[in-house]
Amino acid sequence: MVIAQSHKQRSVLVNFENVGLSYDGVSETLRDVNMVIRDGDFRFLTGPSGAGKTSLMRMIYLAQKPSSGRLTLFGENINQLPRDQLPLMRRRIGVVFQEFRLLEHLTAFENIALPMRVQGVNQNEYAQDVTELLTWVGLGDRVNALPETLSGGEKQRVALARALVSKPDLILADEPTGNVDPIMGERIMRLLVELNRLGTAVIVATHDLTLVRRMKKNILRLKDGRLSLHGPLKDISPATRAEASSRAAGDERSALGA
């Protein structure tokens, strides 16, 4: 039935229930975090430097265990997951790090192919995917380029392609536009939005107010260790912005935790 279809619940990929994180066992970096990420969601993750954006992402890709509460990934409580299941779960999550983390002695193609090689997949099975990904990120002519010959934005796009090669259900991008100019930042963000339109859930940690406003997506805001969900920021043109009351501007900055 069409109506039943339209009400179909999208499956829950990530569920934080009262999750807390303390690195030293005394102070709490994150506390009482409740968050649900479903199939197809796009969320910006914002908050001041040191608010815990990277820490939150590290918990999702299983690089950091919560100190308290319950974290469920793809329906499995991570505390009850047998160790041998961890790599399988990690493969369902693609991560784009701010500092790229490309291997300098490998070409763009080889860097993107690395996750497949590590999994022991035969090159015949992934070569076409890697080439298509390189074309999709606009680097079809840089297949054999070494990272040192690529610009920051190009490296970031190789890193994005590498995060996608295992066809993850969820992409985590930590400040993906932090090291690139605004035009490249916009281009990388458009790729993430397009990817999301094709069905992958995306979480982007960013300070970039202009991009966040333009993309009109929901915002997860971290402040004082707590997480809250906000609707999209309004798109304000430069002219209107000049006239806008300082109160409205203050509200926006506050939604970003800036």
H helices then E strands: how many in the chain? 10, 10
Residues 133 and 161: beta-carbon distance below 8 Å:
yes
Which residue number, 23 or 182, has a Cβ lying nearer to ligand ATP? 23
**Footprint (CB under 5 A) of Mg ion, residues 36-95:** 53-54
Residue 200, interface with ligand ATP (CB under 6 A)?
no
Lay out the site mask for ligand ATP across 19-38 (x = CB under 6 A, - = otherwise): ----x-----x---------
What is the H or E stretch that residue 253 is in?
helix 246-256
Say which entry of ligand ATP, Mg ion, none residue 51 contacts (CB below 5 to 8 A, set by partner kind).
ligand ATP
Token pair of 39 as six digits:
């199939």
Which residue number, 56 or 189, has a Cβ lying nearer to ligand ATP? 56
Which residue number, 65 or 190, has a Cβ lying nearer to ligand ATP? 65
Angstrom CA distances, 167 to 16, 120, 191, 198, 215, stand at 23, 16, 15, 11, 23
Closest by CA position to 191, among listed 169, 163, 218: 163
Say which entry of Mg ion, ligand ATP, none residue 157 contacts (CB below 5 to 8 A, set by partner kind).
none
| CA dist., res. 63 & res. 147, Å (int) | 25
Closest CB 171 distance from Mg ion, rounded Å: 16
Residue 55, interface with ligand ATP (CB under 6 A)?
yes
Which residue number, 49 or 122, has a Cβ lying nearer to ligand ATP? 49
